[in-house]
């Protein structure tokens, strides 16, 4: 009998990683991997790019960097791992330490004994409980086979109108993929803004503007109630509580749930999120059974609470740790900060930690900064804007989260923030980080440092701001205040707020013309990105004006309407 029999259930990310790591550590172990599908070790996150055509061949999603196909023969020859595809694990007998399984093609039953068992059963796409989800032309994009079907359908030219149900990550990536096939696209999101689990309103609005520029119809605050069929059972329209949307193609993209049926049936403990509960060694409630990837919950390093954040990067980390521990190691997984990045229409979206909404829900007293600016020196050709939102704890200055969106370099900033959050850094730490600087790569004071300094100025009583939401509430209520525009005349001509309360005095003339402003009214200054707004506030403070603040994020960070473009 082998010294260690390891059975792995699930062959996409965590499972193959765990099996491969176990083999590297233990050359004598008997390792068997069971996968219900016909494909293993594929890059599911690459499917939108295959649909789009950036990845030409679906097989590229299942190849090593050297071009070898990761199939059963590869795992047997290179790693001495027995991979059984089209094999469904039907029951785990924990007492006997065996897995019962069935070959889905032949119906043959088999039994796989184990000393250590790894559950890497992944997640399943959520399907709304509405009529029509099984119609022809309705997709979920959870497997390369479905990605191939989607691409074939789009390339046929039969699709004119596509509706994406759910404004989440996959929906945003697929919007661009669909548009490359000449399809008219509508995204329907039930919440009041896109990516509600990832972004606050302002960064989401920045993204929404970009999508609309690219002819994507974004419908928020709207619930899908049914998918309607034509005479032959193909989807023809999406029924919402706001009306009907024509659609020959529908993508359901409302989230993922953990696939825990097998674990539940054998009596393993589930966590508060509904995913499998594991300790920091990724052991389940049975010490001989480990689990990782999209079927387990993680610990959030900011809150200390359990969370369900399914990502391929986490699944691979889990696999390595499990591979260590099923072969006698003692590796641990600390947790996550929820870092998520993606691209759509050359627009980068990145976030980590807690959003402002999430932080407030967790009971934190927060302080935020909204800072739009170029991603490199403003005088360098090719500079692009990014909008940075920083969230910190008001008292301690401890960083809680960040969101960076825009066509500029967002991901390197969010990676810095992910490290900062993991290490428990404060806004003072972030402002002091010795980040790389050269004009082609970053401004002399990096965007993150600028956002951190905004928060420091607020905490020190130097900067007094109103958020866009607070200013919008004032505007809507008809409140009397001075809406002070301190930009140049050329900027005003190009774009301005359409409101009678706006008073235009360029910053360079503010000291000379301050007498034109009333001291008995609140003054809210603004500029393009809020730097001059801050200067205006400090200038007027020094001149004895008692009630002055500025718009956080300036006109670039304004997520609402009411902005009129000039000639």
Annotated catalytic residues are: 45
User: β-strands 235-240, 224-229: how paired?
Assistant: antiparallel
Other CB atoms within 10 Å distance of the CB of residue 11: 28
Question: DSSP E strands: which ranges in 410-497?
Answer: 465-466, 482-485, 495-497
CA angle, residues 268, 269, 273, in degrees to nearest 5: 130
Q: Residue 303, Cα to own-chain centre: how many angstroms? A: 18
Q: Write the CA distances from 559 to 193, 270, 376, 414, 468, integer angstroms.
A: 11, 40, 23, 21, 7
Q: How far apart are CA 230 and CA 234, in angstroms?
A: 6
314: left (phi over 0), alpha (psi -120 to 50) or beta: alpha
Print burial letters for 339-349: b (CB count within 10 Å at least 16), e (below 16): bbbbbbbebbb
Q: How far apart are CA 435 and CA 530, in angstroms?
A: 23
Q: How far apart are CA 477 and CA 193, in angstroms?
A: 22
CB 332 within 8 A of CB 321: yes
Question: DSSP E strands: which ranges in 107-248?
Answer: 109-113, 116-119, 123-125, 138-139, 161-165, 184-189, 216-220, 224-229, 235-240, 243-246
Q: What stretch of H or E contains 87?
A: strand 87-93
Pick from 254, 143, 145, 138: which is nearest to 195 by CA?
254
What Rg, from alpha-carbon coordinates, does the chain have?
Answer: 27
Q: How far apart are CA 365 and CA 375, in angstroms?
A: 29
CB 445 within 8 A of CB 439: no
Residue 300 bridge partners (DSSP): 336
What phi and psi, each to the nearest 5 degrees, are found at residue 245?
-120, 125
């Amino acid at each position: 009998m082998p010294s260690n029999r390891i059975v792995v259930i699930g062959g996409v990310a965590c499972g193959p990683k765990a099996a491969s790591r176990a083999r590297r550590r233990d050359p004598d172990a008997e390792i068997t991997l069971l996968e219900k599908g016909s494909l293993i070790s594929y890059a599911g996150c690459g499917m939108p790019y295959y649909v789009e055509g950036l990845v030409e061949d679906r097989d590229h999603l299942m190849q090593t960097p050297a071009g070898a196909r990761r199939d059963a023969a590869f795992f047997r020859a290179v790693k001495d791992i027995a991979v059984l595809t089209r094999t469904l694990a039907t029951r785990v007998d924990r007492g006997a330490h065996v897995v019962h399984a069935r070959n889905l093609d032949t119906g043959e039953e088999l039994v796989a004994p184990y000393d250590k068992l790894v559950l890497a059963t992944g997640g399943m796409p959520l399907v709304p409980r509405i009529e029509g989800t099984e119609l022809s032309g309705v997709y979920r994009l959870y497997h390369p086979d479905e990605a191939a079907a989607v691409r074939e359908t789009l390339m046929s030219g039969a699709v004119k109108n596509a509706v994406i149900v759910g404004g989440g990550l996959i929906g945003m990536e697929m919007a661009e993929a669909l548009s490359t096939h000449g399809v008219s696209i509508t995204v329907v999101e039930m919440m009041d803004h896109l990516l509600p689990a990832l972004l606050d309103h302002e960064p989401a609005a920045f993204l929404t503007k970009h999508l609309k520029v690219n002819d994507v119809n974004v419908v928020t605050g709207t619930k899908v109630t049914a998918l309607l069929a034509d005479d032959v059972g193909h989807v023809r329209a999406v029924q919402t509580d706001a009306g009907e949307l024509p659609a020959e193609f529908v993508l359901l993209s409302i989230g993922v749930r953990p696939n825990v049926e097998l674990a539940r049936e054998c009596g393993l403990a589930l966590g508060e999120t509904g995913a499998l509960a594991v300790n920091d060694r990724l052991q389940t409630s049975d010490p001989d059974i480990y689990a990782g990837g999209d079927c387990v919950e993680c610990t959030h390093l900011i809150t200390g609470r359990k969370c369900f954040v399914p990502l391929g990067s986490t699944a691979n980390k889990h696999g390595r740790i499990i591979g260590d521990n099923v072969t006698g190691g003692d590796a641990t997984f600390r947790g996550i900060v929820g870092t998520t990045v993606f691209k759509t229409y050359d627009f980068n979206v990145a976030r980590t930690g807690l959003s402002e909404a999430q932080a407030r829900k967790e009971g934190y007293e927060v302080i935020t900064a909204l800072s739009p600016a170029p991603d490199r020196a403003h005088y360098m050709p090719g500079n692009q804007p990014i909008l940075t939102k920083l969230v910190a704890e008001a008292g301690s200055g401890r960083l809680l989260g960040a969101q960076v969106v825009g066509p500029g370099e967002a991901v390197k900033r969010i990676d810095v923030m992910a490290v900062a959050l993991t290490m428990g850094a404060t806004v003072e730490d972030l402002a002091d980080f010795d980040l790389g600087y050269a004009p082609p790569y970053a401004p002399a004071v990096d965007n993150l440092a600028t956002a951190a300094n905004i928060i420091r100025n607020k905490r020190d009583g130097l900067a007094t701001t109103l958020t866009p939401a607070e200013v919008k509430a004032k505007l809507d209520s008809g409140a009397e205040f001075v809406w002070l525009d301190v930009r140049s005349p050329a900027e005003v001509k190009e774009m301005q707020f359409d409101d009678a309360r706006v008073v235009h005095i360029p910053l360079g003339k503010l000291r000379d013309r301050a007498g034109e402003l009333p001291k008995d009214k609140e003054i809210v200054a603004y500029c393009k990105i809020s730097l001059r707004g801050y200067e205006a506030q400090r200038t007027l403070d020094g001149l004895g004006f008692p009630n002055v603040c500025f718009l956080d994020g300036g006109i670039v960070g304004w997520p609402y309407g009411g902005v009129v473009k000039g000639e």
